[in-house]
Amino acid sequence: MKNKLAMLGLMAGMFIGAGGITGYSQPEPLTQEEKEKIRSRNRKIKLDKEIKRRTNQGQTMYEYGSGKFIWARNKNNADRKAKNKGWI
């Protein structure tokens, strides 16, 4: 067993030393549109995970203004948090 591993190690070393030419080509760089599509998908996944986690904790999302959200257990706590942030 040790001899086989040693032989594989030597072969890998020779392969790397020879330039590491493989049958695989380098991936093409992503365009800006593809990058933005991936980012938006990742943001959506992250938001879905946060919503699931917060609802499992018993919190509700309250909206104050446009795009201003607060997670709280009830309306009184949400109002207090919004007041501390200066949204009310």
What is the spatial distance between Cα 88 and Cα 83, in angstroms, rounded to a whole number? 5
What is the count of structural domains for the chain?
1
Q: Domain range holding 62?
A: 58-88
Q: Which residues pair with 62 in a beta bridge?
A: 70
Residue 28 falls inside a structural domain: no
Residue 31 falls inside a structural domain: no
What is the spatial distance between Cα 54 and Cα 17, in angstroms, rounded to a whole number? 52
Residue 76 falls inside a structural domain: yes
* pLDDT value, residue 24: 64
Tens digits of residue pLDDT in 74-87? 999 999 999 999 98
Residue 64 falls inside a structural domain: yes
Tens digits of residue pLDDT in 18-53? 555 555 667 788 899 999 999 999 999 999 999 999
Listed as own residue / partner, the contacts of 46-53 with beta carbons closer than 8 Å and 24 or more positions apart are none
What is the spatial distance between Cα 61 and Cα 80, in angstroms, rounded to a whole number? 14
* pLDDT value, residue 5: 73
Residue 74 falls inside a structural domain: yes
What is the spatial distance between Cα 85 and Cα 46, in angstroms, rounded to a whole number? 24
Residue 36 falls inside a structural domain: no
* pLDDT value, residue 9: 76
Residue 85 falls inside a structural domain: yes
Residue 45 falls inside a structural domain: no
Q: Which two tokens stand for residue 45?
A: 């996944």
